[in-house]
Amino acid sequence: MAAQIIVITSGKGGVGKTTSSASFATGLAMRGFKTVVIDFDVGLRNLDLVMGCERRVVYDLINVIHGEANLQQALIKDKRVENLFILAASQTRDKDALTQEGVERVLQELQREFDYIVCDSPAGIERGAIMALYFADTAIVVTNPEVSSVRDSDRILGILSSKSKRAESKQEPIREYLLVTRYSPARVARNEMLSVNDVVDILHIPLLGVIPESQAVLNASNNGIPVSLEKESDAGQAYLDVVARFLGENRPHRFITENKKGILGRIFGWANRDKVEDAV
Amino acid sequence: MNILELLFRRPQKNSAQVAKERLQIIVSHERATNHTGRDFLPVLQQEIIDVIAKYFTGIDKNSVRVELQRMGSCSVLELNVALPEQNEETA
């Protein structure tokens, strides 16, 4: 069977698409699936930095599309996880270099070799974002519990159901999942932040997972490590749960309620703030 | 702020609730205009005609007028249905 194409998208920038793409792809590879993650943010590539392979990029997606390099030259094999490959975006070209025929050809070639193809979409609804989602079988819509992000996610859902290849050729629609990121249960408890149920109510798509706001995410990206490799961290575990649910496992949602700390926890809590306190 | 204001300040509606209400309004409005990529009013009008036609004979396209008006944050859907004369009388 041909590889499944998954787009990580959101409309709004800065919500965690690249972090999620890196962690999700890494999680799939950790489960033994041959996975490639592609950066579609031509001109503003960052997936290479988050994955920690920025100094190994020689050829990129645009080079392959334009026939200046072949896929084997452009694919970067991850050094930590077996079965994981990265295809970087070009830093010098602009998004017009992404032709639909070129993207299709690259994806078809990758489909013969891989189990999953994860497309990291740029922000916005311009060419790069459209190309990232156009050939997708599944979309993971990354949303922060905040008004502009939710509105933009709804807009992206509209585009998935009207401008994708599946929509245009009247095939079965793209499967859509919600991933809520930067979630702060304490602020939700104080009614200062939209709850995950509020977001689900508005967007009406199945919830794949909730990633808590976590220092671990910044630490991981500082070090060029996908946070799903930080198995002790809350965010890392949340991403591994997301991968498990995506693969059909039934896992209860975690990190969506506030940890009630005792007095000792309050005093010593700072020491392991980004560790999991009650892994249930 | 004087002491009276402090004492009698109305409790603030929590901001998450405000956010949800605002989003529900704007998202449903934008879905109606963007998502389908088509004007949904003619479809709505036809469906209403179909329903009314189940109970009244002689309904046609011109008997139902559908208008959507926007007033600030709320939308008003106005339906005007002109029912035909009773069958017994017209027959």
* Closest CA of chain B from A204, distance in Å: 11
Q: Which of A160, A164, A194, A204 to mutate to test the interface with B (most CBs of B within 10 A)?
A: A194
- The answer, as to whether pTM is greater than 0.95, is no
Q: State the smallest CA–CA distance between residue B88 and chain A in angstroms.
A: 48
| Structure ipTM over 0.95, yes or no | no
In the block, which residue shows the tokens 């892994």? A279
The per-residue pLDDT for A263 is 58
The two three-digit tokens of residue A247, written as one number: 């693969």
pLDDT tens for residues A147-168? 999 999 999 999 999 999 999 9
Q: Which of B15, B24, B34 is nearest residue A202 as measured by Cβ atoms?
A: B24
- Using the predicted structure, report yes or no on whether residue A114 has a pLDDT greater than 70: yes
Q: How confident is the model at residue B91 (pLDDT cuts 50, 70, 90)?
A: very low
Strand partners, A30: none
The DSSP output letter for B57 is: T
| Chain A touched by B18 (CB under 8 Å) | no
Q: How far is it, in rounded angstroms, from Cα B16 to Cα A194?
A: 5
Q: Do residues A156 and A142 lie in contact, with contact meaning Cβ atoms separated by under 8 Å? A: no
CB distance from A147 to chain B under 8 Å? yes
The verdict on A104 touching B (C-beta cutoff 8 Å) is no
Q: How far is the alpha carbon of A190 from chain B, nearest alpha carbon, in Å?
A: 8
3-state DSSP assignment of residue A241: helix
